[in-house]
């Protein structure tokens, strides 16, 4: 396997999808602070203009591109904007995502497809465009923002969980193909746990109560930290938030116990009676709604993750060994408890 060399952040141009809200917005702001140039991509053209004015006003190097990542032609346009404004890009972050709350039967088939169009096909479109461009530059990084729900599904979020399982498979396949051709492109999957973003307000809701993310929550800056580290340091997987990592390992070790816990308390843990959040943010499944960095519900979010810092400090091989060793231990424990 060839060694992959990535530029420092201050030398990079970074494409970020889903750039006007939550994790994407945190990634853009942190990248600009650290000296990178950014191509910010989102459906919300008004929010993009405001973001550009704010960050360019303080000297940030930023270009914007209004695009729905479910449209492959629109994603091609992103690469064109990056080439015209900055001469290309060095890292591409597939972050855009949407979701629903409700049972598989409650969510209409068209909404299932819409979640896949954005969360899976959007990542596919971005990955293919990025890989083609980065080959011509001699390498770079592709970072896909998945979820711990790619390891373990959760009730009331079946379509979203399914897309994150698909993104896991897509990312692994892309990495193998690029490694086989010695393309010099790093492919990283970021797996956030629950993050305090507007996601519960943006998601289309079929439950009887307002949705929320189950604790413990982390701030979007934790995800930004993981993503930007991966832009400059080749890693296979990074978990953003120790709570999510532990939940994932528990699910691998004791899947039936996790099923039982989910069936008993999973729905209640994802509901916030009397606290629906800002009405202007509700339901962005097909059209953009009000965007923001954080959710507006009354929650507590941790500002750092010790688990992420340990992953960053470890070498790539050690990190893989730690995560892989945890998974193996979980499998052995699972067999031992049958």
Domain boundaries, the chain: 9-336
In the predicted structure, residue 337 carries a pLDDT above the cut 80: no
> Which percentage of the chain shows pLDDT scores above 90?
90
| pLDDT level of residue 338 (50, 70, 90 thresholds) | very low
Closest by CA to 245, choosing from 151, 156, 118, is 151
Residue 101 appears among annotated catalytic residues: no
In the predicted structure, residue 329 carries a pLDDT above the cut 60: no
pLDDT tens digits along 204-247: 999 999 999 999 999 999 999 999 999 999 999 999 999 989 98
- Rounded to the nearest integer, the mean pLDDT of the chain is 94
Which alpha helices (DSSP H) does 22-68 contain, by range?
Answer: 22-33, 45-56
In the predicted structure, residue 333 carries a pLDDT above the cut 70: no
Average pLDDT over residues 67-79: 98
Give the pLDDT of residue 127.
98
Q: How far is Cα 87 from Cα 80, in angstroms, rounded to an integer?
A: 9
Give the pLDDT of residue 319.
57
Closest by CA to 63, choosing from 97, 16, 96, is 16
Catalytic, out of 120, 160, 218, 239: 160
**3-state percent breakdown (helix, strand, coil) of the chain, nearest 5:** 50, 15, 35
Give the pLDDT of residue 316.
73
Average pLDDT over residues 286-314: 97
| Cross-strand bridge partners of residue 143 | 93, 188
Average pLDDT over residues 40-48: 98
Q: How far is Cα 327 from Cα 321, in angstroms, rounded to an integer?
A: 10
| pLDDT level of residue 3 (50, 70, 90 thresholds) | confident
In the predicted structure, residue 186 carries a pLDDT above the cut 50: yes
If residue 227 lies in a helix (H) or strand (E), which one and from where to where?
Answer: helix 220-232
Give the pLDDT of residue 141.
98
In the predicted structure, residue 331 carries a pLDDT above the cut 50: no
Q: How far is Cα 307 from Cα 173, in angstroms, rounded to an integer?
A: 26
Average pLDDT over residues 92-98: 98
Token pair 């994603």 in the structure block, residue = 75
Residues 6+ apart with CB under 8 A from 313: none
Closest by CA to 188, choosing from 214, 205, 168, is 168
In the predicted structure, residue 162 carries a pLDDT above the cut 70: yes
Residues 6+ apart with CB under 8 A from 56: 62
In the predicted structure, residue 1 carries a pLDDT above the cut 90: no
Which residues in the chain belong to E strands, given as ranges? Answer: 13-17, 37-42, 62-66, 91-94, 100-101, 140-145, 185-192, 204-205, 217-218, 237-240, 301-302
Lowest mean per-residue pLDDT among 1-5, 52-56, 178-182: 1-5
> Which percentage of the chain shows pLDDT scores above 70?
93
| Cross-strand bridge partners of residue 263 | none
Give the pLDDT of residue 318.
64
**Contact 69/130 with Cβ under 8 angstroms?**
no
Average pLDDT over residues 8-31: 98
Secondary structure tally for the chain: helices H, strands E: 13, 11
pLDDT tens digits along 135-158: 999 999 999 999 999 999 999 999
In the predicted structure, residue 96 carries a pLDDT above the cut 50: yes
The CATH code for residues 9-336 is 3.40.50.720
pLDDT tens digits along 263-284: 999 999 999 999 999 999 999 9
| pLDDT level of residue 307 (50, 70, 90 thresholds) | very high
pLDDT tens digits along 188-202: 999 999 999 999 999
Reported pTM: 0.92
**Contact 117/285 with Cβ under 8 angstroms?**
no
**Contact 168/150 with Cβ under 8 angstroms?**
yes
Closest by CA to 20, choosing from 64, 79, 85, 71, is 64
């Amino acid at each position: 396997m060839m060694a992959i060399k990535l530029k420092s952040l201050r030398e990079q141009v970074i494409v970020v999808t889903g750039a006007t809200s939550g994790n994407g917005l945190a990634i853009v702001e942190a990248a600009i602070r650290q000296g990178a140039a950014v191509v910010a991509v989102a459906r919300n053209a008004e929010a993009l203009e405001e973001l550009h004015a704010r960050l360019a006003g303080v000297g940030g190097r930023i270009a914007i591109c209004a695009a729905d990542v479910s449209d492959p032609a629109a994603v091609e346009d992103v690469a064109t904007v990056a080439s015209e404004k900055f001469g290309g890009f060095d890292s591409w972050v597939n972050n855009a995502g949407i979701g629903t709350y409700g049972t598989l039967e409650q969510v209409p088939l068209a909404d299932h497809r819409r979640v896949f169009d954005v969360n899976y096909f959007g990542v596919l479109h971005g990955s293919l465009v990025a890989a083609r461009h980065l080959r011509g530059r001699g390498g770079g990084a592709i970072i896909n923002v998945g979820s711990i729900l790619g390891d373990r599904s959760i009730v009331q979020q079946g379509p979203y969980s399914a897309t994150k399982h698909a993104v896991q498979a897509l990312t692994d396949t892309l990495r193998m193909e690029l490694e086989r051709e010695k393309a010099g492109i790093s492919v990283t999957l970021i797996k956030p746990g629950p993050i305090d973003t507007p996601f519960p307000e943006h998601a289309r809701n079929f439950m009887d109560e307002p949705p929320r993310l189950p604790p413990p929550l982390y701030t979007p800056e934790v995800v930004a930290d993981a993503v930007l580290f991966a832009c400059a340091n080749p890693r296979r997987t990074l978990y953003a938030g120790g709570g999510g990592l532990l939940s994932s390992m528990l699910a691998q070790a004791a899947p039936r116990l996790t099923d039982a816990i989910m069936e008993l308390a999973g729905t209640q843990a994802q509901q916030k009676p009397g606290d629906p959040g800002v009405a202007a943010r509700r339901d962005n499944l097909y059209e953009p709604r009000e965007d923001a960095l954080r959710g507006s519900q009354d929650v507590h979010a941790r500002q750092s993750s010790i688990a992420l810092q340990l992953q960053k400090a470890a070498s790539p091989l050690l990190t893989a060994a730690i995560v892989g060793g945890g998974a193996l231990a979980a499998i052995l424990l699972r067999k031992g408890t049958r």
